[in-house]
Amino acid sequence: MSALSERPENPSVGVAVPHESAKLHVTGAALYTDDLIHRTKDVLHAHPVQVPYAHARVTALDVTPALRVPGVVRVLTAADVPGVNDAGVKHDEPLFPDEVMFFGHAVCWVLADTFEAARLGADAVEVGVEPLPSHVTLREAIAAESFQGATPQILRGDVEAGLADAVHVFSGEFEFAGQEHFYLETHCSLAHVDEAGQIFVQSSTQHPTETQEIVAHVLGRPSHEVTVQCLRMGGGFGGKEMQPHGFAAVAALGATLTGRPVRVRLTRTQDLTMSGKRHGFHVDWRVGFDDAGRLQALDATLTADGGWSLDLSEPVLARALCHTDNAYWLPHARLTGRIARTHKTSSTAFRGFGGPQGMLVIEDILGRCAPLLGIDPAELRRRNFYQAGQSTPYGQPVRHPERLHRLWEQVLDSGAIPARQREIDAFNAGHPYTKRGLAVTPVKFGISFNLTAFNQAGALVHVYKDGSVLINHGGTEMGQGLHTKMLQVAATTLGLPLERVRLAPTRTDKVPNTSATAASSGADLNGGAVKHACEQIRERLAQVAATMLGVNAADVRIADGIARGIGADAGVVWNDLVRAAYFQRVQLFAAGFYRTEGLHWDSSVMQGSPFKYFAYGVAAAEVEVDGFTGAYRTRRVDIVHDVGDSLSPLIDIGQIEGGFVQGAGWLTLEDLRWDTGDGAARGRLSTQAASTYKLPSFSEMPEVFNVTLLTDAAEEGVVYGSKAVGEPPLMLAFCVREALRQAAAAFGPAGVSIELASPATPEAVFWAIERARAGAGDSTVAEADVAPPQPGAGSHAMRPESEQVGQAVSRA
């Protein structure tokens, strides 16, 4: 095993320790960005001037009335920007726009002594607009050919030949909704300028370096004049990867112009109406199976709802295409992507980053086609699993596919799936108005940024003369436990008890040029950098210890805070060793760096190996559905997940549980609605509060929730043999949606195929039940008559495509 993966004896990694800020969280002592205003003098409060049109040209802007409001100090407009009036990395997001691109787009910001004065000042600003045509729904944008960005395509084999040779060919259409991040802490920034003109921004951001860069170019300054710090976030989920930059730039601009600290903190309604969400998608597909139900070919066009600007839509779409295969071998594939421009908030990163959307495509296809093939859905999935030696449609070999099979069998065994399925069949036969469903689904998720350059990280580790240790790294903490894992990595590498190590807040003047804490790569990248820095210090101290102990430096081991020679009882205590090193003028701090090896990706042809490894998981869910209302409850969930050799088991299990519930929310509850009428409210987000946007709560938690980590799963070439855990568990929730499909089908005749909207709300489930009862099932997917075998066709029958192409549409 490599030095990166190998663990010493009695390591701190692998121990189930609480989150490093758990006590602070539960006592309310944890500081977040907005808490800092109470420690800052003379803060100005910013409030946006939002325009209530989905699409309009700004023809006049009069801020004079706002300046007459008591307490208003200044109104920020485009004329105040000394640098570039843009807050996006694609240069398509004006910070102060002259064209409103979504309902609630902010055209200027009011600064005042109090938040209420700023609000009243914003109400007083007079904005003249010329309404313009708008595309609110994804279908409207597609019909108008309103597209933006790249149109990538993944090709393997000959799709047309594969479909022609297939025994069964189906085609269909599917549209599914996005998702609101709904982190507990809304977007927030606090900026001030020091006596030297340096800008310091406290920001709730997953990407401090990019926030720094955007602030710098808006202000027309070099990056070294801007420092961004992130203490911690009250949730991020991808929503704070790109979206915080503009808010930080507003705060920084206000601070430079007024000389006073400026706070930007969105209300919940502002956050919901101004910030981006998960991409919704529309999909057209054709799929072919052989007579044993094995996938032969898939032709799919995925259209992402990008909203008004590109943001991260291109890499989100690329990852969606790369994950459309999920855990299944596709001999022939043509996966085409495009991004629609709609007049809504710009869609952005969200946990899974396109992976869930791509996987949902194939899982929905298998769930709809299984009854038409006469094959149990779980068996259909199992038959199509990747096998050793196979590769993805984009050319990456699938390593350790045997783990999929191990996970599958473990869930079937520990969850007693066959016995429970028989119980469910008996229950359904005796209950005409209530039905149960049970489904098992897999996950194969690639870990690394698709853009190879982002797969790097830095760290700075200090050992002080008293033996205490301080670590800095480029990752941000949003509740996911990254800092906890980094403390464990540092303690393990230095051979110290965990309590001897402390972690400093993430700052761009300590570790520069960092990547976003995203793509589930935080522990891999920053852990590698922290380990590298600690190894440098440990090697220097080993030289000192070797002299003190009279042994070779290669024979020195540091464990539990004591340096010893191999096999020796006598040793040097850490504090004495550090003190001796200081007096010998040995460097006691180090900068660490890590870059993920073995990656290569050509985005122009969508081919290569963009991922370091695949994270695997399998989940089973049992649901019970009320036939009168479509209401349902999740009776039991069983999960076995592959996290390699866990760095921190308690943290990882929490991430699996939380990710699963968030995924179930996206698939079954969270229903984003915009006003699509032609009235004055067109384009307005209707679900702009917790009262109208349904979030998972305790009542949606599974009554029995079993989570197990796969054993004997150490991953070679990753820090201490671990695997990422942030995003993959979200996609385990496919089993809930598929169990609902099974339960709805139980209300109809055997073999009925069920069309199920996403999110599968109780309303959507009710209508699926009604179609099942009528025997109609999924009228949108049909198979054409199989033509007689043609010469040269071998064992496959030649046949035309499906003749019905329909739609399974969720409200978006």
Residues labelled as active-site residues: 727
**Residue 535 tokens, joined:** 């190894």
Residue that has been written with the tokens 């040029």 in this structure:
513
Strand order in the sheet with 501-503: 501-503, 469-473, 456-463, 589-595
Residue that has been written with the tokens 């961004």 in this structure:
228
E strands, 571-655, are 571-573, 589-595, 600-602, 607-609, 613-626, 632-641
Q: Is the dihedral of CA 155, 156, 158, 162 positive or negative?
A: negative
The CB density around residue 584, as the number of other CB atoms within 10 Å, is 11
The Cα 421–Cα 414 span in angstroms is: 14
**Residue 577 tokens, joined:** 């060793």
The Cα 650–Cα 645 span in angstroms is: 13
The Cα 348–Cα 12 span in angstroms is: 36
The CB density around residue 23, as the number of other CB atoms within 10 Å, is 11
Kind of pairing, strands 168-176 and 808-809? parallel
Q: How far is CA 574 from CA 460, 463, 494, 544, in A?
A: 20, 11, 10, 11
Q: What is the DSSP letter of 374?
A: T
End-to-end C-alpha distance for the chain, whole angstroms: 49
**Residue 608 tokens, joined:** 């290569």
Strand order in the sheet with 434-447: 434-447, 613-626, 632-641, 704-709
Number of H-type helices and E-type strands within the chain: 19, 32
E strands, 121-167, are 126-131, 147-148, 153-156
**Residue 806 tokens, joined:** 């329909």
Q: What is the DSSP letter of 166?
A: -
